[in-house]
């Protein structure tokens, strides 16, 4: 088993030994100020040299450089074998050994997917827009594995108590699926507290993925451990990463 720094999160999910994954925290890097310290986002205003140093530190724990995505809160899923550079997408899949899939987050939900036989893996960046539009379902479909044979893990994201949204967000989920309203608790007048984890579990279940692990984090509440865009605005990004090894 690959040795990881103690500040990283290793998913607790039932997958074959060939499947490897980790989620970084904000600890252990070279950035300073609002990006302290392991900021991996190169688009948030941090010093490029610091970001490069942080990514180099990350790569010491990996079999290869990650496939970084230009994330746009959409539903595009790329196959790592078919792209070069940094594709504009919010999800990726692979069947190849040593290819590291990655998404960056700072409140949005990283969703990791692995076939029970380790024949394919997928990863998705699921903010509420992408989740409502179907990024999780699109990733499951692109894996070309029977959904019942896929295991999922939900990484660090903003918790329900901190995620206040408007009626338009609730309707984006509840209009096509009235039972999704259960994932929204009443907040201030005209506002709702959205449970991203519950919404993701519903979408996974509807897609046929029944074994789901993870959840229970709150990037907003845990200032020492996680970046949070909702909390701080100007901040860094964590990475969730997934790959296959022989």
Residuewise pLDDT in 10s, the chain (246 residues): 567 778 899 999 999 999 999 999 999 999 999 999 999 999 999 999 999 999 999 999 999 999 999 999 999 999 999 999 999 999 999 999 999 999 999 999 999 999 999 999 999 999 999 999 999 999 999 999 999 999 999 999 999 999 999 999 999 999 999 999 999 999 999 999 999 999 999 999 999 999 999 999 999 999 999 999 999 999 999 999 999 999
- Please give the structure tokens belonging to residue 210: 């029944």
Nearest to 7 by CA among 224, 241, 189, 229: 224
Domains observed in the chain: 19-161+209-244 (3.60.140.10)
- The greatest distance separating any two alpha carbons of the chain, rounded to the nearest whole angstrom, comes to 54
Phi-psi region of 52 (alpha: psi -120 to 50; beta: other; left: phi over 0): alpha
Kindly tell me the number of DSSP H helices and DSSP E strands found in the chain: 6, 13
Please name the helix (run of DSSP H) or strand (run of DSSP E) that holds residue 122, with its range, or none: strand 121-126
pLDDT at 3: 73
Q: What CA–CA distance (Å, rounded) separates 101 from 134? A: 19
- Is the pTM higher than 0.75? The answer reads yes
Backbone angles phi, psi at 32, to 5 degrees: -130, 180
């Amino acid at each position: 088993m690959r040795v990881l720094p103690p500040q990283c999160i290793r998913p607790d999910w039932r997958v074959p030994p060939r499947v490897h994954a980790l989620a970084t925290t904000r600890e252990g890097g070279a950035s300073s100020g609002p990006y302290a310290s392991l900021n991996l986002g190169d688009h948030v205003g941090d010093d490029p040299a610091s970001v490069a140093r942080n990514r180099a530190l990350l790569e010491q724990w990996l079999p290869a450089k990650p496939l970084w995505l230009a994330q746009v809160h959409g539903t595009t899923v790329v196959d790592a074998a078919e792209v070069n550079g940094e594709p504009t997408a919010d999800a990726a899949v692979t069947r190849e050994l040593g290819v590291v899939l990655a998404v960056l987050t700072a409140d949005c939900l990283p969703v990791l997917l692995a076939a029970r036989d380790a024949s394919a893996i997928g990863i998705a960046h699921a903010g509420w827009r992408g989740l409502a539009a179907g990024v999780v379902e699109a990733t499951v479909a692109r894996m070309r594995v029977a959904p019942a044979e896929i295991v999922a893990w939900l990484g660090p994201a903003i918790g329900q108590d901190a995620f206040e949204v408007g009626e338009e967000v609730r309707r984006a989920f509840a209009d096509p699926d009235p039972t999704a309203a259960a994932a929204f608790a009443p907040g201030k007048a005209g506002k709702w507290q959205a449970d991203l984890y519950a919404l993701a579990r519903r979408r996974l279940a509807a897609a046929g993925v029944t074994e789901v692990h993870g959840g229970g984090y709150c990037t907003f509440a845990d200032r020492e451990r996680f970046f949070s865009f909702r909390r701080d605005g100007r901040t860094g990004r964590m990475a969730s990463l997934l790959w296959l090894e022989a």
